[in-house]
Amino acid sequence: MKSCKHRGPQDGTHFGPQCPGCPQFELNYSAWMEEMSTQVDAAIRGYNPEILPAPSDLQEAPQRHAYRHRCRWVVGTPNEPLGFYQAGGKAFIGIEDCLMHTPHIEEASERIREFLRANPKACEVFNFIDIRYDGTKTFVTFCTTDKTPDRASELVSSITSIKNIAINYAPKGATAIMSGTQLHIQGEAKLNWTLNGKQFESSPQSFFQVNPSVLELMHTHIRKYLATISFDNVYDFYCGIGVHSLGLNTGQNIIGFDSSESAIADANKNGASILGENVKREFLVKKDSTEDLPSPPINCVGILNPARAGLSGSLIPFLANKNFTDLVYISCNPVTLYRDMDRLHMLGYEVVEVKGFEMMPRSSHVELVAFLKRIGPPRYDQAGAFWPPSRGLTLGISGPISFQKDGTSFWIARVKGTVPKGRPPGGKSIFVKRLRKVGNDSIVTIRTKKVDEVEILEAFDRWKYPILGKVGGRIYDRPLLHCVKSAEIEAPIPGFIVSMSQLPVKVLEKDHFTVKKD
């Protein structure tokens, strides 16, 4: 492996900013695997390993350099036209070449550098440049928030050294770089990826993995698992252009959804070309936070491939549907994967295996694939899910299936600061007792009467001891508040509450209040 000029010396005499793209650049595979194992162990600490096992192994990528089929450059100045932002900030680092890109990506990058040097105004018009190589052709999208689209179009139309070009116009403040309006300028308008011998068409703004060879390895492993089970249907969550459900070639009927209109259009076209008319399939534009997803057919396998934030709280109850027999969960974030598997375990699933893949060599990321099998019906409403919709607790609060606001309820929460015993201001029906300190936070038990979770959250905010939603580096997408008992209806304590409280279950389940008036 050649040394990278943008990494600088590694002997303590480093000069200048260091490229953030490959933080594990110097590690060989064995050292990288050890680093990733440590990272995963930190993410799953606090969970029961008998229920949520660590990955069985981490599989090495076939190629550990020149593997990236996609690059997203930050545009700099004519002197340093292309680069990346420094880790954790907006400081620009000019990059002359990258050992991780395929030669085709590097060739296109050099053509763009020449264009930007020759056209200084272009450095003011364009913010980012997205380059993709699908195995046969290179496609470049120039991204801008400029208010004069004609100027941007005129600039790129002068480029003759790149065949396939588009411009993406996004308003200032857009959360995603490629979320604007896509305008095709010249050459072909679509990419065509080959995966396991199948052709997938995609729009330039549709997602596709940066390392297709590792994606094929993942599919080989998933296919082996699917061969051991019996199912008739596939539900493809966050389906994108249909890579997983269509690429695995299960021969089963398919339902898929994604929030990207361009990806769903591609998925439907790919389904028609790959499956023909013999297999029923339906790809829909929907968000995972909606309640109008089509019901899963019987004997169904769910394929889950969410973004780093993991599954939304409102999707969890959908997966409780008894028609799902098995789940295949693909994740680039160990923290949210294990958080979600903890929730799914509470809904009747058993984790069969977790396996890791080196999707992005020399980076600090690892791709994980988990297999979950239903071993029983959902045992109770859990893991921050809304189940059923009429049960009376806000989306994101875990607790009994039937919440009785008119009765007395008992809660557990993690709260910012050292909470005193007593009542929050204005919370005459709320009584609080601190169980222990955890860092700068408090684990508290709460007794309420004729009070719901919204009133509890508001009372703690007024008290200046807010109930937390992100604690100790572990990511949660809801307040850390759990209703243990409502009237006579109890809810077992989920694993994420046990983990964040750092207290034994028997302590959390203990009745911490007497019946006398406080």
pLDDT at 291: 59
Q: Which helix (H) or strand (E) holds 94?
A: strand 92-94
The CATH number given to whatever domain includes residue 431 is: 3.30.70
* 175 and 119 share one domain: yes
Contacts of 190 (CB under 8 A, 6+ apart): 201, 202, 203, 204, 266
Domain presence at residue 23? no
Distance CA 241, CA 193 (A): 11
* 265 and 357 share one domain: yes
Domain presence at residue 309? yes
* 356 and 478 share one domain: no
Contacts of 164 (CB under 8 A, 6+ apart): 137, 138, 139, 140, 186, 187, 188, 189
Q: Please report, as a single letter, which amino acid is at residue 455.
A: E
Contacts of 45 (CB under 8 A, 6+ apart): none
Domain stops at, among 156, 189, 222: 189
- Number of residues written out for the chain: 518
Domain presence at residue 178? yes
* 345 and 414 share one domain: no
* 343 and 240 share one domain: yes
Domain presence at residue 325? yes
* 245 and 362 share one domain: yes
- R_g over Cα of the chain: 26
The CATH number given to whatever domain includes residue 361 is: 3.40.50.150
pLDDT digits (tens, 9 = 90+) for 398-424: 777 677 888 899 999 989 999 988 899
Burial (0-12, 13-18, 19+ Cβ within 10 Å), 9: exposed
* 344 and 449 share one domain: no
Could you tell me the CA-to-CA distances from 73 to 52, 152, 392, 443 in Å, in that order? 38, 17, 47, 45
Indicate the pairing of strand 324-331 with strand 300-304. parallel
Domain stops at, among 313, 348, 374: 374
Domain presence at residue 399? no
pLDDT at 379: 52
Domain presence at residue 518? no
Nearest 10 degrees: Cα torsion 216, 222, 225, 231 = -120
Distance CA 355, CA 376 (A): 24
Range of the domain at 111: 70-189
The CATH number given to whatever domain includes residue 119 is: 2.40.50.1070
pLDDT in tens, the chain (518 residues): 678 888 765 555 544 457 878 888 888 889 888 988 998 888 888 788 999 999 999 999 999 999 999 999 999 999 999 999 887 778 899 999 999 999 999 999 999 999 999 999 999 999 999 999 999 999 999 999 876 677 888 888 889 899 999 999 887 766 678 888 899 999 999 999 999 899 999 999 898 999 999 999 999 999 999 999 999 999 999 999 999 999 998 878 999 999 999 999 999 999 999 988 778 899 999 988 655 788 889 999 999 999 988 887 668 777 878 889 999 999 999 988 998 898 888 788 999 999 999 999 988 889 999 999 999 876 544 434 433 444 567 656 777 767 788 889 999 998 999 998 889 988 779 999 999 988 888 999 999 998 888 889 889 989 999 988 754 444 445 678 888 888 888 887 766 677 667 777 778 888 877 644 44
pLDDT at 163: 94
pLDDT digits (tens, 9 = 90+) for 281-302: 999 999 886 557 888 899 999 9
* 333 and 223 share one domain: yes
Contacts of 485 (CB under 8 A, 6+ apart): 400, 409, 410, 491
> Are the C-beta atoms of residues 142 and 109 closer than 8 Å to each other?
no
Q: How many CB atoms lie within 10 A of CB 268?
A: 17
Q: Looking at the 3D structure of the chain, how many domains does it have?
A: 3
pLDDT digits (tens, 9 = 90+) for 322-361: 889 999 999 999 988 998 898 888 788 999 999 999 999 9
pLDDT at 319: 86
* 54 and 74 share one domain: no
Nearest 10 degrees: Cα torsion 331, 336, 337, 338 = 160
* 311 and 344 share one domain: yes
Domain presence at residue 15? no
* 170 and 255 share one domain: no
* 74 and 48 share one domain: no
Domain presence at residue 131? yes
pLDDT at 1: 62
Domain stops at, among 352, 374, 396: 374
pLDDT at 72: 94
Distance CA 22, CA 365 (A): 10
